[in-house]
């Protein structure tokens, strides 16, 4: 064969890949449509296949083009990479790799770097080259200049298969974009979109890290959906799963007959809770694979941020293990030093390469410095989910109001550590599955109290320091738990209570975005001041949010079923404070009986540490926001 049998990879030393520094491996490994020069036949087009399998005796590429019998690939000397150029093949060719291990056994594997794959239960990799032309230049320019900590962020978490069952990427590009725009969210967060075989895993057990799931269409269809969201001014976050991968025989596990991507020792290499393998973060090629994958979604799909799943499971060697079931680090400790180094590496690299993106940790422990810069000894994330706030406030929500006064600290404790990290307040899919009940059904007593309490709770959440995330269906009070096999119960939004809650969410987002006092200083103690944190007898909390220009929003929330009339509060300035939100309003299916006639007047009389005071009415199981702009 006179043409380049490696399809352009001849002479490539893969030094970066082996040192952990190749952060774009999708450009070299996997399948690529290429053109080569042949001495006899001139210019040839076809597909170059390349796969890393350093411990294999023999590797073949199989597909319909060779009747699945196999064409032998050749080892590029000194690289562990096998490659082959097959002329005449085109886009959407199906293929797999057959790998013979040292013992002579054959293993059929999908391509770890495939850009597309068959829909489960089929699993062949598919040759795919994007032809998409983006139209989001304005968005991308704004992204590069953005300062996320000082900007509004309310996130709508979506499981694409369950939002409206059966919809494609292209259909969602119309319907989801329209809905999220109407609701006023700044971002959507997609549960993992990488290819996965088991639908009830929701994408958290990935077999195709570079393959958008084909359940909803082709990769360029996903690009179109993201492009449309960007054109509507909506950012896109995607869940990313570098913590573990499933044991399917055709996946990454024991890829060349050895523990290539995972640890050999099950005390280091297996999550028994999840039945999965753990990546070997100390292997440079694995680091190249994972960092490249993170960058791939951001560069090739214009994803604006990655929410990194299960970070706690990566940080601790004894995560969900008993004594003797884990291997200490070199200093005898429980911290996974290799995983910590990897997280710092990926965060530093992505923020340097793509300014303005978001790296978000789902981290459930008190590991220090998750959102501190790497140079200051932190992990380098931009944000962390505030799981403590979530757990405490949901415990409070589930209490009968008569008992809430005894657990008042569940609502106030989060301010003790509010500025230790850059937080997102999450009410995610995890809180409405597996017997935990929907948000509506967590709240005790009758429907009037359930809906009123939820309206007050979400107002409390939207005005608390930190960004916000809410799972789909919570915005209209869906009663059943999340079930990925069916659509959300959209029809209930026409009913009393449900429709009012949905309209409240729209107004929460709109009012929130209009008032920088609610988000500009989220990460600065100067942006928050308690009015009264110590009123458990009324189940009431109140505070003032401020920006650096002297604008203020006072937020008072009453978790008691009794109205508060002539309730005295302190305020930072005297004058007229406009009521900009009242969760008891008829538009939200509230009673409309308890409000402040649009405004309250604060007198220049000291109250506690404030120079002014006012008397307000706060509805039962309700919340009000009052605005005072700088003169």
pLDDT at 532: 98
Which residue, chain included where needed, has tokens 């990290």? 421
- What is the count of structural domains for the chain? 2
500 secondary structure, DSSP code: H
Q: Is 624 contained in some domain?
A: yes
| Dihedral sign for Cα atoms in the order 558, 563, 567, 573 | positive
φ and ψ of 261, to 5 deg: -95, -20
pLDDT digits (tens, 9 = 90+) for 234-280: 999 999 999 999 999 999 999 999 999 999 999 998 998 899 999 99
Cα(559)–Cα(511) distance, integer angstroms: 22
Told to judge if 362 belongs to the known catalytic residues of this protein, a careful annotator would answer yes
Residues 416, 407, 625: CA angle, nearest 5 degrees: 65
Q: Is 136 contained in some domain?
A: no
pLDDT at 1: 41
Q: Is 318 contained in some domain?
A: no
Taking residues 480-488, what's their average pLDDT? Answer: 95
Cα(529)–Cα(549) distance, integer angstroms: 15
For residues 86, 88, 92, 93, the Cα torsion angle rounded to the nearest 10 degrees is -50
Which alpha helices (DSSP H) does 209-336 contain, by range? 219-231, 266-269, 284-300, 311-315
The answer to whether 156 and 60 have CB atoms below 8 angstroms apart is no
Q: Which two tokens stand for residue 178?
A: 């329209």
Residue 630, pLDDT > 90, answer: no
Residue 11, pLDDT > 80, answer: no
pLDDT digits (tens, 9 = 90+) for 50-75: 999 999 999 999 999 999 999 999 99
Among 1-5, 173-177, 310-314, 537-541, the range scoring the smallest mean pLDDT is 1-5
pLDDT at 474: 98
pLDDT at 346: 98
**Which of 97, 126, 155 is a domain's end point?**
126
CATH code, domain with 88: 2.60.40.10
Cα(616)–Cα(596) distance, integer angstroms: 7
The answer to whether 585 and 595 have CB atoms below 8 angstroms apart is yes
Band (8; pLDDT cuts 50, 70, 90): confident
Cα(87)–Cα(132) distance, integer angstroms: 25
pLDDT digits (tens, 9 = 90+) for 547-569: 999 999 999 999 999 999 999 99
pLDDT at 292: 98
Element at 296 (helix H, strand E): helix 284-300
Q: Is 560 contained in some domain?
A: yes
Cα(344)–Cα(52) distance, integer angstroms: 25
Cα(24)–Cα(357) distance, integer angstroms: 17
Told to judge if 548 belongs to the known catalytic residues of this protein, a careful annotator would answer no
pLDDT digits (tens, 9 = 90+) for 395-443: 999 999 999 999 999 999 999 999 999 999 999 999 999 999 999 999 9
Cα(554)–Cα(196) distance, integer angstroms: 46
Cα(612)–Cα(31) distance, integer angstroms: 69
The answer to whether 383 and 371 have CB atoms below 8 angstroms apart is yes
Cα(130)–Cα(301) distance, integer angstroms: 10
pLDDT digits (tens, 9 = 90+) for 340-396: 999 999 999 999 999 999 999 999 999 999 999 999 999 999 999 999 999 999 999
pLDDT digits (tens, 9 = 90+) for 451-478: 999 999 999 999 999 999 999 999 999 9
pLDDT digits (tens, 9 = 90+) for 96-139: 999 999 999 999 999 999 999 999 999 999 999 999 999 999 99
The answer to whether 81 and 29 have CB atoms below 8 angstroms apart is yes
Q: Edge-to-edge strands of the sheet including 622-628?
A: 528-535, 540-546, 552-558, 622-628, 575-582, 599-602
pLDDT at 2: 44
Residue 157, pLDDT > 60, answer: yes
Q: Which two tokens stand for residue 451?
A: 């809906």
The answer to whether 421 and 466 have CB atoms below 8 angstroms apart is no
Q: At what angle do helices 219-231 and 169-183 cross, to 10 degrees?
A: 20
The one catalytic residue among 220, 239, 362, 547:
362
Taking residues 484-510, what's their average pLDDT? Answer: 97
**Which of 72, 93, 126 is a domain's end point?**
126
The answer to whether 152 and 522 have CB atoms below 8 angstroms apart is no
CATH code, domain with 600: 2.60.40.1180
Collapsing DSSP states into helix, strand and coil, what is residue 143? helix
Q: Is 67 contained in some domain?
A: yes
Taking residues 171-194, what's their average pLDDT? Answer: 98
Cα(511)–Cα(490) distance, integer angstroms: 24
| Cα-Cα end-to-end distance for the chain | 80
Collapsing DSSP states into helix, strand and coil, what is residue 8? coil
Which alpha helices (DSSP H) does 169-283 contain, by range? 169-183, 219-231, 266-269
Band (588; pLDDT cuts 50, 70, 90): very high
pLDDT digits (tens, 9 = 90+) for 283-330: 999 999 999 999 999 999 999 999 999 999 999 999 999 888 999 999
Q: Is 88 contained in some domain?
A: yes
φ and ψ of 484, to 5 deg: -65, -15
The mean pLDDT value of the chain amounts to 96
**Which of 95, 126, 157 is a domain's end point?**
126
pLDDT digits (tens, 9 = 90+) for 141-156: 999 999 999 999 999 9
Q: How do the residues of the chain divide into helix, strand and coil, expressed in percent and rounded to 5?
A: 30, 25, 45
Q: Is 444 contained in some domain?
A: no
Q: Is the peptide bond before 121 cis (omega within 30 degrees of 0)?
A: yes
Q: Is 227 contained in some domain?
A: no
The one catalytic residue among 285, 309, 363, 431:
309
pLDDT at 224: 98
pLDDT at 127: 98
Band (4; pLDDT cuts 50, 70, 90): low
Parent domain of 46: 15-126
Taking residues 587-608, what's their average pLDDT? Answer: 96
């Amino acid at each position: 064969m006179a043409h380049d049998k490696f399809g352009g990879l001849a002479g490539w030393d893969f030094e970066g890949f082996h040192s952990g520094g190749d952060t774009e491996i999708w450009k070299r490994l996997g399948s690529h449509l290429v053109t080569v020069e042949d001495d006899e036949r001139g210019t040839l087009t076809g597909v170059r296949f390349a796969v890393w399998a350093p411990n294999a005796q023999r590797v073949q590429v199989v597909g319909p083009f060779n009747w699945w019998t196999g064409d032998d690939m050749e080892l590029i000397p000194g690289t562990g990479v096998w490659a082959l150029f097959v002329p005449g093949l085109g886009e959407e060719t199906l293929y797999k790799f057959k790998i013979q291990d040292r013992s002579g056994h054959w293993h059929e594997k999908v391509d770890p770097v495939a850009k597309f794959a068959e829909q489960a239960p089929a699993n062949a990799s598919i040759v795919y080259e994007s032809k998409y032309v983006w139209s989001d230049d304005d968005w991308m320019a704004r992204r590069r200049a953005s300062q996320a900590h000082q900007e509004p962020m309310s996130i709508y978490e979506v499981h694409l298969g369950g939002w409206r069952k059966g919809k494609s990427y292209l259909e969602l590009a119309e319907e989801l974009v329209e809905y999220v725009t109407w609701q006023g969210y700044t971002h959507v967060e997609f549960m993992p979109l990488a290819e996965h075989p088991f639908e009830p895993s929701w994408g958290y057990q990935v077999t195709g890290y570079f393959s958008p799931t084909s359940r909803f269409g082709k990769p360029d269809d996903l690009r179109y959906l993201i492009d449309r969201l960007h054109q509507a001014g909506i950012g896109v976050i995607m869940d990313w799963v570098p913590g573990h991968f499933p044991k399917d025989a055709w996946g990454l596990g024991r890829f060349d007959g050895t523990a290539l991507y995972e640890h050999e020792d099950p005390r280091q290499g297996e999550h028994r809770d999840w039945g999965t393998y753990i990546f070997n973060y100390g292997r440079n090629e694995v680091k190249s694979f994972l960092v490249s994958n993170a960058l791939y979604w951001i560069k090739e799909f214009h994803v604006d941020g990655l929410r990194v799943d299960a970070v706690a499971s990566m940080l601790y060697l004894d995560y969900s293990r008993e004594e003797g079931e884990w291997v200490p680090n070199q200093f005898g400790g429980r911290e996974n030093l290799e995983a910590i180094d990897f997280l710092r590496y990926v965060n530093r690299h992505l923020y340097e390469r793509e300014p303005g993106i978001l790296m978000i940790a789902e981290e459930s422990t008190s590991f220090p410095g998750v959102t501190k810069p790497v140079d200051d000894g932190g992990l380098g994330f931009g944000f962390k989910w505030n799981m403590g706030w979530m757990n405490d406030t949901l415990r409070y929500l589930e209490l009968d109001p008569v008992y809430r006064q005894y657990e008042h600290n569940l609502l106030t404790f989060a301010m003790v550590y509010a500025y230790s990290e850059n937080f997102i307040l999450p009410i995610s899919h995890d809180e409405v599955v597996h017997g935990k009940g929907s948000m509506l059904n967590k709240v005790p007593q009758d429907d009037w109290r359930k809906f009123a309490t939820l309206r007050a709770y979400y107002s409390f959440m939207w005005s608390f320091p930190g960004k916000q995330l809410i799972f789909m269906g919570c915005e209209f009070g869906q009663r059943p738990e999340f079930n990925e096999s069916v659509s959300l119960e959209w029809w209930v939004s026409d009913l009393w209570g449900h429709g009012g809650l949905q309209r409240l969410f729209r107004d929460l987002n709109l009012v929130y975005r209009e008032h920088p006092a609610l988000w500009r200083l989220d990460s600065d103690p100067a942006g928050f001041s308690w009015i009264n944190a110590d009123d458990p007898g009324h189940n009431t909390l109140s505070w003032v949010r401020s920006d650096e220009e002297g604008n203020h929003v006072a937020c008072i929330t009453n978790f008691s079923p009794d109205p508060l009339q002539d309730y005295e509060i302190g305020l930072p300035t005297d004058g007229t404070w406009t009521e900009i939100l009242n969760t008891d309003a008829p538009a939200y299916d509230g009673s409309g009986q308890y409000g402040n006639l649009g405004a309250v007047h604060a007198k220049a009389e000291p109250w506690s540490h404030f120079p002014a005071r006012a008397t307000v009415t706060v509805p039962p199981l309700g919340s009000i926001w009052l605005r005072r702009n700088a003169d």
